[in-house]
Protein backbone atom coordinates (compact mmCIF):
# COMPACT_ATOMS: atom_id res chain seq x y z
CA UNK A 1 0.00 0.00 0.00
CA UNK A 2 1.07 3.54 -0.72
CA UNK A 3 -0.39 6.58 0.93
CA UNK A 4 -0.56 9.82 -1.00
CA UNK A 5 -1.26 13.26 0.30
CA UNK A 6 -3.82 14.63 -2.09
CA UNK A 7 -5.51 17.94 -2.48
CA UNK A 8 -8.60 18.92 -4.40
CA UNK A 9 -8.72 21.50 -7.12
CA UNK A 10 -11.80 23.28 -5.85
CA UNK A 11 -10.84 24.06 -2.31
CA UNK A 12 -7.24 22.92 -2.00
CA UNK A 13 -8.34 20.58 0.77
CA UNK A 14 -5.62 18.21 1.74
CA UNK A 15 -6.30 14.60 2.61
CA UNK A 16 -4.64 11.24 2.59
CA UNK A 17 -5.68 8.32 0.46
CA UNK A 18 -4.37 4.80 0.22
CA UNK A 19 -3.72 3.01 -3.02
CA UNK A 20 -2.48 -0.41 -3.95
CA UNK A 21 0.14 1.20 -6.13
CA UNK A 22 1.06 4.41 -7.86
CA UNK A 23 -0.61 3.11 -11.03
CA UNK A 24 -3.79 2.42 -9.09
CA UNK A 25 -3.85 6.03 -7.95
CA UNK A 26 -3.29 7.29 -11.50
CA UNK A 27 -6.08 5.08 -12.77
CA UNK A 28 -8.60 6.13 -10.13
CA UNK A 29 -7.61 9.76 -10.56
CA UNK A 30 -8.12 9.56 -14.33
CA UNK A 31 -11.53 8.02 -13.89
CA UNK A 32 -12.58 10.59 -11.34
CA UNK A 33 -13.05 7.97 -8.63
CA UNK A 34 -11.22 9.91 -5.98
CA UNK A 35 -13.30 12.57 -4.34
CA UNK A 36 -12.31 15.20 -1.82
CA UNK A 37 -13.77 14.13 1.55
CA UNK A 38 -14.50 17.79 2.36
CA UNK A 39 -16.19 19.15 -0.75
CA UNK A 40 -16.60 16.11 -2.96
CA UNK A 41 -14.53 17.55 -5.78
CA UNK A 42 -13.13 14.72 -7.90
CA UNK A 43 -10.43 16.81 -9.48
CA UNK A 44 -7.74 15.76 -7.07
CA UNK A 45 -4.04 15.78 -7.48
CA UNK A 46 -1.08 14.80 -5.41
CA UNK A 47 -0.17 17.40 -2.86
CA UNK A 48 3.41 18.46 -3.02
CA UNK A 49 4.73 15.82 -0.70
CA UNK A 50 6.69 12.67 -1.23
CA UNK A 51 4.60 9.51 -1.08
CA UNK A 52 5.27 7.28 1.87
CA UNK A 53 5.27 3.55 1.94
CA UNK A 54 2.32 2.47 4.01
CA UNK A 55 2.63 0.51 7.20
CA UNK A 56 0.00 -1.59 8.94
CA UNK A 57 -1.43 1.38 10.76
CA UNK A 58 -2.22 4.41 8.70
CA UNK A 59 -0.86 6.77 11.29
CA UNK A 60 1.40 9.40 9.92
CA UNK A 61 5.01 8.52 10.13
CA UNK A 62 6.72 10.49 12.82
CA UNK A 63 10.29 11.45 12.22
CA UNK A 64 12.52 9.93 14.84
CA UNK A 65 14.07 12.58 17.04
CA UNK A 66 17.78 13.05 16.72
CA UNK A 67 19.41 10.11 18.38
CA UNK A 68 20.18 10.80 21.98
CA UNK A 69 23.65 9.82 23.15
CA UNK A 70 23.67 6.22 24.26
CA UNK A 71 23.59 6.04 28.04
CA UNK A 72 26.75 3.94 28.08
CA UNK A 73 28.72 6.26 25.81
CA UNK A 74 30.54 7.55 28.89
CA UNK A 75 32.13 5.29 31.49
CA UNK A 76 29.42 4.20 33.81
CA UNK A 77 29.56 4.51 37.56
CA UNK A 78 29.65 0.74 37.59
CA UNK A 79 32.82 0.71 35.48
CA UNK A 80 34.42 3.34 37.70
CA UNK A 81 33.68 1.20 40.74
CA UNK A 82 35.19 -1.83 39.01
CA UNK A 83 38.39 0.10 38.26
CA UNK A 84 38.61 1.36 41.83
CA UNK A 85 38.05 -2.17 43.12
CA UNK A 86 40.90 -3.42 40.92
CA UNK A 87 43.21 -0.69 42.25
CA UNK A 88 42.21 -1.45 45.81
CA UNK A 89 42.86 -5.15 45.22
CA UNK A 90 46.33 -4.41 43.80
CA UNK A 91 47.13 -2.15 46.72
CA UNK A 92 45.89 -4.76 49.19
CA UNK A 93 48.23 -7.24 47.49
CA UNK A 94 51.22 -4.89 47.84
CA UNK A 95 50.65 -3.55 51.33
CA UNK A 96 51.46 -6.76 53.28
CA UNK A 97 54.91 -6.71 51.64
CA UNK A 98 55.30 -3.08 52.52
CA UNK A 99 56.52 -1.79 55.88
CA UNK A 100 54.49 0.92 57.58
CA UNK A 101 56.88 3.67 58.67
CA UNK A 102 54.30 6.28 59.54
CA UNK A 103 55.58 9.81 59.82
CA UNK A 104 59.15 8.63 59.14
CA UNK A 105 58.32 7.93 55.51
CA UNK A 106 60.31 10.82 54.03
CA UNK A 107 63.38 10.06 56.16
CA UNK A 108 63.15 6.32 55.48
CA UNK A 109 62.74 6.85 51.74
CA UNK A 110 65.68 9.26 51.71
CA UNK A 111 67.85 6.83 53.72
CA UNK A 112 67.16 4.05 51.23
CA UNK A 113 67.79 6.37 48.33
CA UNK A 114 71.13 7.40 49.78
CA UNK A 115 72.11 3.83 50.64
CA UNK A 116 71.96 4.37 54.40
CA UNK A 117 69.19 1.79 54.69
CA UNK A 118 68.43 -1.46 52.80
CA UNK A 119 65.98 -1.20 49.92
CA UNK A 120 62.55 -1.94 51.18
CA UNK A 121 58.98 -1.41 50.21
CA UNK A 122 57.57 1.08 52.64
CA UNK A 123 54.50 3.16 53.05
CA UNK A 124 53.72 5.90 55.46
CA UNK A 125 52.77 9.50 55.74
CA UNK A 126 54.39 12.61 54.39
CA UNK A 127 53.45 16.23 54.30
CA UNK A 128 52.97 17.73 50.85
CA UNK A 129 56.29 19.56 51.36
CA UNK A 130 58.14 16.32 52.19
CA UNK A 131 56.59 14.61 49.18
CA UNK A 132 57.67 17.49 46.96
CA UNK A 133 61.20 17.39 48.40
CA UNK A 134 61.43 13.63 47.71
CA UNK A 135 60.26 14.24 44.18
CA UNK A 136 62.78 17.06 43.72
CA UNK A 137 65.55 14.71 44.87
CA UNK A 138 64.46 12.06 42.38
CA UNK A 139 63.21 9.70 45.06
CA UNK A 140 60.34 7.60 43.82
CA UNK A 141 57.29 7.90 45.98
CA UNK A 142 53.71 7.77 44.98
CA UNK A 143 50.52 8.38 46.87
CA UNK A 144 48.47 5.39 47.86
CA UNK A 145 45.56 5.28 45.47
CA UNK A 146 43.19 4.10 48.13
CA UNK A 147 43.37 5.83 51.50
CA UNK A 148 44.25 3.54 54.37
CA UNK A 149 44.03 4.10 58.08
CA UNK A 150 47.51 4.38 59.61
CA UNK A 151 47.99 1.28 61.80
CA UNK A 152 49.12 3.44 64.72
CA UNK A 153 45.89 5.43 64.50
CA UNK A 154 43.85 2.32 65.21
CA UNK A 155 43.38 1.49 68.88
Minimum Å distance from CB 56 to Zn ion? 28
Residue with smaller CB distance to Zn ion, 13 or 52: 13
Strands 99-102 and 2-8: unpaired
User: Residue numbers of the site for Zn ion (CB under 5 A)?
Assistant: 8, 11, 13, 36, 38-39, 41
Please identify, using beta-carbon distances, which residue of 8 and 134 lies nearer to Zn ion: 8
In the bound state with Zn ion, the residue whose beta carbon lies nearer, of 42 and 125, is: 42
C-beta of residue 62 within 8 angstroms of C-beta of residue 56: no
Q: Give the nearest distance from C-beta 46 to Zn ion in angstroms.
A: 14
Give the Cα separation of 131 and 105 in Å (integer): 9
Shortest distance in whole angstroms from residue 49 CB to Zn ion: 17
The nearest distance, CB 5 to Zn ion, in angstroms, is: 13
Q: Which is nearer to Zn ion, 20 or 38 (CB)?
A: 38
Q: Which residues of 42-73 are buried (b: 16+ CB within 10 A; e: fewer)?
A: eebebeeeeeeebeeeeeeeeeeeeeeeeeee
Q: How many whole angstroms separate alpha carbon 59 and alpha carbon 97? A: 70
Amino acid sequence: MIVFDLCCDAGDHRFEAWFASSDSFADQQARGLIACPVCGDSRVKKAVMAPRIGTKSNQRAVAAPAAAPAPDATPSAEMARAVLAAIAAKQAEMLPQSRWVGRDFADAARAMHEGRAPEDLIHGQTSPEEAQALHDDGIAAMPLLVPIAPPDAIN
